[in-house]
Structure 1
């Protein structure tokens, strides 16, 4: 189930949490009981949870563990979750992590409602079944998709192990060449970086699509930027539109490769926790080094492009460490954000689990622990980071492959972000398979 763990904003070695509550008058329960597990959960959350001061003082210890955990959460918390490592069904599920694709229901200018495949992961069940970005889905398990039933259809898909899809291609304003595709539940492999170099108006522009930020990715980032630098790239487009996040260290490594004028001591990020966590400040070098597999700051800087401007493509699926890239580059260069508003996860956390030997609690907590800020102390984007240039990627169908210079968001960046601002209003986004449910997106 490491797919669920790799999206964590900060992947840190789990902390040893005692099952014992030393508070005077604390309840005592038989070891191994549901109540004793709930007491462990409460003690852990008191120590680490960002909103620990909002937790109920007298929770119901007799609740099932997941219900008990949810009863502790602050109303504004959209991201904390808990899983039982001995029960795979307790892990959050999404269409993307089960089948390897995502889709969007849109309303065209003429009022017609259609469903577009927006993302297909490489070497995923959907990819192996022949699904491609830009295809149109007309039916899922025999049901015609509408704006009213899309959410319930998506929810039902999470309880199945196979999907029967009817798909077609968008041609001359209509869906043609329909066929049946069967997609089975399965594993999606690590996603590769996609890089291109475009030349326009005498300038070379590097394009880099990054699906997520796993630990250990500094070597491949370093290689891509070495290629950009060798080719004489003068501008950069970062495509983070479907990036849920991952390791802050990998995000810091990416950021170190872009601007001019930074040093190993330049501040990168500020973490603010509860009264126990306090504030933690880290420089670029310190945050990168938090990943033991990472290349050093100076090694990365040898291939830095030294730019004073970067274009970043975003959507409602841009979250967590990807949002940190957008926000934490701003003190060091001009960030031109193109696309749609981001998800709004200005939080960080790490995994909390019982490390005693033998282990007495099989549950694993993924709580919100910190708020994150950039070098200028700017954060608080829980409602999302708004782009300077709002562009709807569905304004022209069919959707072109990622990396195609004619693709809507990429062409907008290549045209120096000058695009008619009225065009995106012709298409309404009614539903996105990866946006309504937060749980399971990871960190």
Structure 2
């Protein structure tokens, strides 16, 4: 283990000697050292590093940034059923941007969109502290046009371009209350991300079913979970619906905190998950165990609402719970990312190559595809997160009748129905350990 830390220390010292204040190094030399060093660090840690060429043949310095270099690394990961690399996640990011992510600091429109059908665009999510929320936009609202572009799925690329290239947009939407079309200019502005999108209760057979919608696993969630789960306990919640349809992951420590609140008493002290690394880093293979929690609900059944956006720490949570609790998945196939990263600070960057794969107590993981739901159901964007929403309604129906309602949903749901504009969530499983 010592040699790895020593190597990183030497590389860090090497780059510090090549800073812009050093009169003996040109900008080109500094760039070369940054990329060469990023290559050495990332290759050693990368989970699938056996096929990566050596420094000379790889020629790291011809990449513009460490991010471009790590995107190239992705090509060396195993292929999925479509013949494409499964690694879509290895990344590098500037430290300031990374710190903003961890703190939940965002600067975007604060809402996302999804087509209900080819002619019907709806707002699918609105962040509580954003411009969109403060100006009355809400999930389920029908959008008719954006910057005079008709809101049809045929125009999705044009609409996406408008969002990506503008800081202000003119949105025409249908107001259900007044039954008239309205226009609103929405703007990008800073706000703090709220990890809990919704939580409430539903009454089924005179019993309380709890509902919790989490958008990301960031540190601020740790302060909210005890309050929410104390309330669940006070209301004698026996069954829980956890909505992860927009949760792309986050910090594993925050996920673990939630997992400890979900398990039955018999799981305390048992394996939550294990990590496995490449051959050189096998010394870091580890096991994380469930621990006692004052907020533990001792649940027998948990419904998870999932989608193709559900990934990383969200999938780790589901996989960890499965051996101990009856887990029922509703929605769309998940992303299939039971791998994670460590964050390596280097110069003004954070390097995060995929470095480990995770397994549950039964040594189960995901290989090429995501979790297949027990019941396929599209995101019902015409309704808010209430008992009328399709996925929530299906969970409540199953809890009441022990069977699912008859469904006409497609078995495979196309991903290209969405325009995701809430950017500052963490689409990764990040181990809270740095080198």
Instruction: Kindly state the Cα deviation for residue 178 of structure 1 after the two structures are TM-superposed.
Output: 1.6
Task: Write out per-residue CA displacement over residues 367-420 of structure 1, whole angstroms, 9 at most, x where no aligned residue.
Answer: 2111111111111254211110111233xxx72222x22222112111126443
Task: Write out per-residue CA displacement over residues 127-161 of structure 1, whole angstroms, 9 at most, x where no aligned residue.
Answer: 12322100111212221233233134314422321
Instruction: Kindly state the Cα deviation for residue 428 of structure 1 after the two structures are TM-superposed.
Output: 7.1
Are 2:382 and 1:399 aligned? yes
Aligned residue number for residue 241 of structure 1: 245
| Contact 2:311/2:428 (<8 A) preserved | no
CA distance in 1, matches of 2:361, 2:228: 26
Are 2:304 and 1:312 aligned? yes
Moved more, 242-251 or 258-267: 258-267
Match of 1:123, SS?
coil
Are 2:144 and 1:138 aligned? yes
Q: 2:369 aligns with which of 353, 369, 383?
A: 383
Q: 2:288 aligns with which of 276, 279, 283?
A: 283
Q: 2:110 aligns with which of 85, 88, 100?
A: 100
| Contact 1:349/1:369 (<8 A) preserved | yes
CA distance in 2, matches of 1:52, 1:426: 35
Written as runs of structure 1 = structure 2, the 5 A alignment for 1:328-343 is 328-343=320-335
Are 2:88 and 1:78 aligned? yes
CA distance in 1, matches of 2:161, 2:419: 9
Aligned residue number for residue 351 of structure 1: 343
Match of 1:157, SS?
helix
Aligned residue number for residue 202 of structure 2: 198
Match of 1:43, SS?
helix
| Contact 2:376/2:410 (<8 A) preserved | no
| Contact 1:50/1:274 (<8 A) preserved | yes
Task: Write out per-residue CA displacement over residues 60-111 of structure 1, whole angstroms, 9 at most, x where no aligned residue.
Answer: 32332244443333243201122244799xx9xxxx962111111242xxxx
Instruction: Kindly state the Cα deviation for residue 181 of structure 1 after the two structures are TM-superposed.
Output: 1.4
CA distance in 2, matches of 1:134, 1:160: 23
CA distance in 2, matches of 1:381, 1:146: 35
CA distance 1:259–1:243, shift in 2 (3 Å): same
CA distance 1:151–1:384, shift in 2 (3 Å): farther
CA distance 1:408–1:214, shift in 2 (3 Å): same
| Contact 1:106/1:427 (<8 A) preserved | no
Instruction: Kindly state the Cα deviation for residue 320 of structure 1 after the two structures are TM-superposed.
Output: 1.3
Instruction: Kindly state the Cα deviation for residue 311 of structure 1 after the two structures are TM-superposed.
Output: 0.9
Q: 2:261 aligns with which of 239, 245, 257?
A: 257
Unmatched 5+ stretches in structure 2: 15-24, 77-84, 430-435
CA distance 1:327–1:362, shift in 2 (3 Å): same
CA distance in 2, matches of 1:423, 1:211: 27
CA distance in 2, matches of 1:47, 1:251: 27
Match of 2:165, SS?
coil
Instruction: Kindly state the Cα deviation for residue 366 of structure 1 after the two structures are TM-superposed.
Output: 2.4
Aligned residue number for residue 319 of structure 2: 327
* CA RMSD of superposed structures (Å): 3.3
Aligned residue number for residue 424 of structure 1: 409
Are 2:187 and 1:187 aligned? no
CA distance in 2, matches of 1:442, 1:78: 10
Moved more, 329-338 or 132-141: 132-141
- With the length of structure 2 as denominator, give the TM-score of the two structures: 0.79
CA distance in 2, matches of 1:327, 1:151: 35
Aligned residue number for residue 17 of structure 2: none
Instruction: Kindly state the Cα deviation for residue 329 of structure 1 after the two structures are TM-superposed.
Output: 0.4
Moved more, 261-270 or 36-45: 261-270
Instruction: Kindly state the Cα deviation for residue 269 of structure 1 after the two structures are TM-superposed.
Output: 0.9
Match of 1:36, SS?
helix
Unmatched 5+ stretches in structure 1: 1-12, 23-28, 286-296, 355-360
Moved more, 159-168 or 148-157: 148-157
Moved more, 361-370 or 118-127: 361-370
Match of 1:305, SS?
coil
Are 2:27 and 1:44 aligned? no
